[in-house]
Structure 1
Amino acid sequence: MPDLSAFPITTRWPAQHPDRLQLYSLPTPNGVKVSIMLEETGLPYEPHLVDIGKNESWTPEFLSLNPNGKIPAILDPDGPGGTPLALFESSAILLYLAEKTGKLLPSDPARRYETLQWLIFQTAAMGPMFGQVGFFHKFAGREIEDKRPLERFRAESQRLLGVIEGRLADREWIMGDEYTIADISMLGWVRNLIGFYEARELVAFDSLTHVPAWLERGLARPAVQRGLKIPSRT
């Protein structure tokens, strides 16, 4: 049985199954990237709810795993060479899990890098822009009288949706017929933008054709449906 006692995070979130990959997360757009990936690959794991509303990601135990204080993070007892591996940053975790399982990342080098460029596109552009729309449209930013920040992030988010609309014009998934970590990285963010952030009308989502169809296909996947609810909030 693997010994995870060297990792302080296990004192606050004890592993009932230390032989399984440990997931520390919450069902946010970044958090569900990893839970969906784990459900898609079938890799055994144990989820732990990290309540960011209670600042649990800023506790010493969590910071010992991710000094940036953000979910998700994982602890894999069976890391490279059989040595436990702690990892944070959702897209880095997606890449790690894809390479660990040999799933959801093309093996052809050219297609692999093409997939990674879209993964990085989501990380660098979609996530930050959509998140700012959420802040300025739904949360505390709504109280700011100057609406130029909201307009800036709205316009950029709408433009980014247009980029994906064009990409999906002649293909089912971001990489064509092959569903990959690029799709997984984006599904939760697009869903959140028009759902939880209540920005569907703001970004003219219904003027699009291919992105809504792609989102519907993605959300219909059983693994996605399960992953969106993990870790359970109850």
Structure 2
Amino acid sequence: MSWLGPQEWQAVALSLKVAFWATTLSLPFAIWIAYLLARKEFFGKQIVNGLVHLPLILPPVVTGYLLLLTFSGTAPLGAVLTHLGLPLAFRWTGAALAAAIMGFPLMVRAIRLSIEAADTRLEEAAATLGASRLKIFATLTLPLALPGIIAGSLLGFAKAMGEFGATITFVSNIPGQTRTLPSAIYSFLQVPGGESAAARLVIVSIVIAMGALIASELLARRIARRMEGI
């Protein structure tokens, strides 16, 4: 990407960093929630399901504003985190949190569908042989759901790379700190002569997004074929 300028490359690198941590840290929670929604019946299940998918329905700016109210330095929780050396508002860590929340529904949806498609008779047979729930989950449920986990992770990563509304509302658009790829495109379009830089970043965005989608599909199919051959 030598054809990118320093500011453009900085935005791409920061977006990759934000998307990586957003996906990595939210994946365990996505697997847990997806398993609960796919396998368990409990009071308030539909409420949990609604809350998980709420970021897809709400305007991203609303999500960002709620994050700002919760984690700003003047909010109780935000003040505690700042005191502990973990500030989120107007930091790249806050951008990772916003991106994780916006991509979370996509991750949960893909993983949940994969878990629901798995044959529960295998789990029941393992249980009758004395296997614990944890062992069944680790040795059967997770491997069977692996195509969905990979697909969900890559979709969440792609969503995190392209997140704009919640991010700019929560962490602003600070060069070198919170200016991710979408924010950089927006910034370049606001200044005369910035169209070429914005166009280059648009191309990068399309390449990354399409790459993630194609990789998600190919990996999911490859793993599914392997599982069928076992």
Q: TM-score under structure 1 normalisation?
A: 0.32
The structure with more strand, counted as a fraction of residues: 1
Which structure's relative contact order is higher, taking Cα pairs within 8 Å and 6+ residues apart? 2
Q: TM-score under structure 2 normalisation?
A: 0.32
The structure with more helix, counted as a fraction of residues: 2
